[in-house]
Amino acid sequence: MTQRDTDWWRGAVIYQIYPRSFKDSNGDGIGDLPGITEKMPYIASLGVDAIWLSPFFTSPMKDFGYDVSDYCDVDPIFGELKDFDDLIASAHEHNIKVIIDQVLNHTSDQHPWFKESRTSRDNDKADWYVWAEAKPDGSAPNNWLSVFGGPAWRWDSRRRQYYLHNFLHSQPDLNFHNPAVVDALLETVEFWLKRGVDGFRLDTANYFYHDTQLRDNPPREEVAEGSIGVSEENPYGYQLHLYDKSQPENIGFLKRLRALLDQYPGSTTVGEVGCDFSLKTMAEYTQGNDKLHMCYSFDLLTHDNTMTHVHKTMTTIEEGLGSGWPCWSMSNHDVERVASRWNHGQACNAKSKVFMAMLLSLRGSVCLYQGEELGLPEAELEYHQLVDPYGITFWPDFKGRDGCRTPMPWENHPTGAFSTSREPWLPINDQHLAMAVSEQEGDRHSVLHAYRDFLHFRRHHSALISGNIEFLYSDRDVLIFLREDDQETLLVGVNASEQGHISGVMEYTVTDVILPEGLRTGVFEHNKLVLPSNSVYIGAIN
């Protein structure tokens, strides 16, 4: 296997699939693995390099698969192990890599490990989870909070102790300070490597270890977006999370995980990092070729859509990244869809195209979330339609994650061709139906065609995949930068506003690169970059 084969992830575009909402093959209203396999030609047509599957493991589904009760089997609602093997085979036939979501920080309280652990203080699994004594007054061991609201501790009457849960109380945290736990988890990782997976997206990759002294977190001076659970309506954001996550011991585990993956050349990892110092942590976790291959943070998943913010995020990570490698996304299964979040709640095809071109031109790998290629806005749901426990807790100030998880619209009719069921697990959004794949296939200027064209265009320009980046200018609406490698130097300009922009004089000789049809393009003339509203420019520098 060549270096290029093993480093395929560097600059790759990864398409995230939320299996429950992608395609239902058996009419039960829930998407499944055979449905994904059925749509593999569509995925291949996009021009992506890999797919990332959100959890499909056996689970009671209190958090829709992020509460695992068996790491080595498929939940019956998604199919069976053979269906996963068929999916792997189909993806590889289409030259698509497969990355799966690995939820290692916690299990379901229905996992056999936890069922045994909670029976007594001296059983074989007694120390496999984070247990702690109550304070003398019976209260929780410290002030740590759950991302989903309330204390991060749950009293268990059988052991007469508290257990830690950074998320739902039905998601107890594993004790990574116990070597037996680490060994068991790595065995589950290898189970999937042997089945042919090409990598893992590590859920909450900085949460694995906790402070053994259980010290209280200090207050946070300012509540700002950029981390998991950080928002004004959630008290989790009122703490500076110094002791409940991002502990130094995490590095040792990541090295053991990387050593395992190195035995399977070509496999990769992308870690989700949500912490108060996310860009610093990203750099730390990806440096040196002995930890994670790449990480992504929540810094582009906030409501700040300014090019000033993008510039600051990129320059901050570049300054500390060293040999590390970032991965960027604008949408995923946990946040409001970017078409709404970055445009005052309203979808706009022109802006969707501009933000797409910007993301795919930055230095790093990219995760695209299903439906992002259609420009789908956030779906509006009524309270009685919610199933997300996060949204139910904080309604109406925070409506949860259901609005970004509604079924994929394949055709413009009531079921969206997602399922034959008239009652899917979440309602299909009427606005989405008008933006269905079938509608956009026939429109050469659709968002879908813009994504396909730009992804294929990008594959022919190595500087956009793995080249260096140098920023030349940014303000609220405009970002101008260079991408350069041994083969080419490209000048990239993005204007995400309703106003035109003319740059200052640039000392370059530029030959236009023909951008895909459907994008509004700028021009380089008289040594100035002219960017009309909602436009993109990419030019080759001689």
Name the active-site residue from 24, 203, 372, 373: 203
Preceding amide of 326 cis, omega within 30: no
- The continuous run of DSSP H or E covering 391 comes out as helix 389-394
Instruction: Name the token pair of 68.
Output: 């695992």
**Helices in 411-542 by DSSP H: which ranges?**
430-433, 437-441, 447-459, 462-466
Cβ-based neighbours of 416, under 8 Å, separated by 6 or more: 407, 408, 409, 410, 428, 432, 433, 436
Please give the single-letter amino acid code of residue 499.
Q
Residue 539: what are its φ and ψ, rounded to 5°?
-130, 145
Distance CA 292, CA 199 (A): 11
Decide if 272 is catalytic. Answer: yes
Take residue 181 and report the two structure tokens written for it.
């736990």
Look at residues 399, 196, 367 and name the one whose alpha carbon lies nearest to residue 272. 367
Tokens representing 283? 């750099």
Q: Is 198 a catalytic residue?
A: no
Backbone φ and ψ of 154, nearest 5°? -130, 130
Please name the residue that has the structure tokens 């380089």.
Answer: 524
Q: Name the active-site residue from 272, 276, 388, 453.
A: 272
CA–CA dist 237, 227 (Å, integer)? 9
Catalytic residue list: 203, 272
